[in-house]
Amino acid sequence: MAEPKKLHIAMFPWLAFENLPENAEATIDVPYHKIPYLKKAHDGLQQPMSHFLETAAPDWVIHDFAPYWTFKLQRSEPEHFIVPPKWVPFPTKIAYRLFEAKKIFDNYEENDSGVSDWFRFKTLLSGTEALAVKTCREVEGEWVKLLGELHNIPVIPVGLLPPSIQESSDSKDSSWDTIVEWLNKQEKESVVYIALGSEVQPSQEDLHRVGFWARAIRVALLLGSKEAKWLRSLLSYQQGLIARFLEEKQAGIEVPRNEQDGSFTRDSVAETLRLVMKDEKGKIYRDKAKEMTTIFGDRDLQYRYIDKFVEFLERKNHLTTAMSKWVINKSAKDHATRQ
- Rounded-to-integer distance, Cα 50 and Cα 10, Å: 13
Please report, as a single letter, which amino acid is at residue 67: P
pLDDT classification of 146: cutoffs 50, 70, 90? very high
Strand locations in the chain, DSSP E?
Answer: 131-133, 155-157, 191-195, 220-224
Residue 295 dihedral angles phi and psi, to the nearest 5°:
-85, -50
Query: Quick one: pLDDT at residue 233?
Result: 36
Q: How many CB atoms lie within 10 A of CB 244?
A: 19
Question: Can you give the residue range of the structural domain that contains 158?
Answer: 78-105+130-162+299-321
Q: Is 292 helix (H, G, I), strand (E, B) or coil?
A: helix
Query: Quick one: pLDDT at residue 228?
Result: 38
- Rounded-to-integer distance, Cα 157 and Cα 150, Å: 16
Give 220-229 pLDDT, tens digit per residue.
555 554 443 3
Give 87-99 pLDDT, tens digit per residue.
899 999 999 999 8
Query: Quick one: pLDDT at residue 232?
Result: 34
44 lies in the same domain as 146: no
| CA separation, residue 74 to residues 66, 98, 166 (Å) | 16, 17, 49
Please tell me the total count of domains within the chain. 3
39 lies in the same domain as 67: yes
64 lies in the same domain as 46: yes
Percent of the chain predicted with pLDDT > 70: 74
With respect to residue 2, please indicate whether it lies within any of the assigned structural domains.
no
192 lies in the same domain as 288: yes
What is the residue-wise DSSP string for 188-244? TT-EEEEE--TT----HHHHHHHHHHHHHTT-EEEEESS--TT-------S-HHHHH
Give 100-143 pLDDT, tens digit per residue.
888 887 777 888 888 888 888 888 888 888 999 999 999 999 99
With respect to residue 54, please indicate whether it lies within any of the assigned structural domains.
yes
pLDDT classification of 236: cutoffs 50, 70, 90? very low
144 lies in the same domain as 289: no
What is the phi-psi region of residue 104: left when phi exceeds 0, alpha when psi lies from -120 to 50, beta otherwise? alpha
With respect to residue 152, please indicate whether it lies within any of the assigned structural domains.
yes
Q: How many CB atoms lie within 10 A of CB 3?
A: 5
Where does a domain end: 38, 55, 76?
Answer: 76
282 lies in the same domain as 209: yes
With respect to residue 117, please indicate whether it lies within any of the assigned structural domains.
no
pLDDT classification of 79: cutoffs 50, 70, 90? confident
284 lies in the same domain as 138: no
With respect to residue 279, please indicate whether it lies within any of the assigned structural domains.
yes
pLDDT classification of 314: cutoffs 50, 70, 90? confident
- Which letter, b or e, does each residue of 175-186 get, where b requires 16 or more Cβ atoms within 10 Å of its Cβ? eeeeeeeebeee
The DSSP bridge pattern shows strands 131-133 and 155-157 to be parallel
- Rounded-to-integer distance, Cα 74 and Cα 65, Å: 16
pLDDT classification of 231: cutoffs 50, 70, 90? very low
Query: Quick one: pLDDT at residue 179?
Result: 78
Mean pLDDT of 39-56: 82
93 lies in the same domain as 187: no
With respect to residue 330, please indicate whether it lies within any of the assigned structural domains.
no
Q: What is the CATH number of the domain that holds 208?
A: 3.40.50.2000
Task: Determine contact, residues 301/292, Cβ cutoff 8 Å.
Answer: no
25 lies in the same domain as 36: yes
Query: Quick one: pLDDT at residue 25?
Result: 81
With respect to residue 185, please indicate whether it lies within any of the assigned structural domains.
yes
306 lies in the same domain as 158: yes
Query: Quick one: pLDDT at residue 132?
Result: 93
235 lies in the same domain as 309: no
Give 4-19 pLDDT, tens digit per residue.
777 788 888 777 667 8
With respect to residue 313, please indicate whether it lies within any of the assigned structural domains.
yes
- Rounded-to-integer distance, Cα 48 and Cα 13, Å: 8
Task: Determine contact, residues 309/270, Cβ cutoff 8 Å.
Answer: no
Task: Determine contact, residues 192/231, Cβ cutoff 8 Å.
Answer: yes
Query: Quick one: pLDDT at residue 161?
Result: 84
- What is the C-alpha radius of gyration for the chain, rounded to an integer number of angstroms? 27
